[in-house]
Structure 1
């Protein structure tokens, strides 16, 4: 089962519109979708290591632009539906915490493999300073995607062989890593 999915993703990675698809996935993950761009980015980078930095750049740009939409969703939707979900007192407390730790929260959580839309929407909901949100987003997303590109560029072929040999374990480990990161991120 995993092998078929893996082969299908590799097929998408070789599609002539793969960069556009990658950009759309990164954009949506930062605003409305829980699917991380890594599911396409990693196979694309492994398949064409010489373009790994370019692919990371596409993800960074699309992710930050999608984060802007996510921020404004959080900023604007409180008046429409947010007050049903969060009390005014809780919102004030949340905004105080965000004003104190917001830059660090955005930088750390933006680097982790959790849906970035959560960070972007929460930043808007807290009415966090938009300029600081943008700076932290650029730092977090660039760090994450350029680090991934660097690792795959330098260790690409052994990583590809390892993934193909132990695909089931890699997939299960990846899911556990994401679930564990989401669980631990609640405490940061």
Structure 2
């Protein structure tokens, strides 16, 4: 039974949709402030489906992600007192938020570089930046550097892999899909054991 091949084919079809760039922009914005799914899952297949647009797609993703980060900052700075508890409840983020505040106190604004580039929940860091009153201009500049580096790296690696990468993924999508699923389950299990 093939489970992941139809999903992969559907994602590549959506990536070629005439409005795909708009969807990418919307998801990039939302992912930096409140949406739980990383935008890379949309960026990667879009670059794979049209490698000539790699830099354009990375630029769109970066700009909209930073704008979404600014929105997260505004939520933290102006609305956290009113709605912050509900937002943390929704994201199950009370413990993470306390840890992030500690990281800010320990490492300063450089933590934005780490959160913007790695799979850490960037949205929580954008909101925390607003709550903690991190200087706005450094926040924006560090976000541009971190998010840009991440999305241009993803786009560049996929563009570099080219048709051979697409062929390899297509041939091994079931193995990749099941391996990813197993790793997610292991990660959740380990997380629950350490909690």
**TM-score scaled by length of structure 2:** 0.79
Q: Cα deviations across residues 66-108 of structure 1 (Å, max 9, x unaligned)?
A: 00001111222332244797xxxxx999757525523221101
Match in the other structure for 1:24: 26
Once residues 18 and 54 of structure 2 are traced to their aligned partners in structure 1, the CA distance between those partners, rounded to angstroms, is: 16
The match for 1:88 is none
Once residues 57 and 93 of structure 1 are traced to their aligned partners in structure 2, the CA distance between those partners, rounded to angstroms, is: 31
Q: What are structure 1's unaligned runs of at least 5 residues?
A: 86-90
**Structure 1 runs of 4+ with >2 Å offset:** 81-85, 91-97, 113-116, 168-177
SS at match of 2:134: coil
Match of 1:140 in 2: 146
Equivalent runs, 1:54-133 vs 2, <5 Å:
54-82=56-84, 98-133=104-139
State the Cα RMSD in Å: 2.7
Q: Which sits farther off after the overlay, 1-10 or 76-85?
A: 76-85
The answer (yes or no) to whether the contact 1:35–1:115 under 8 Å persists in 2 is: no
Q: CA deviation at 1:171?
A: 2.9
Runs of 5+ consecutive residues of structure 2 not aligned to the other structure: 89-96
Q: Is 2:181 aligned against 1:161?
A: no
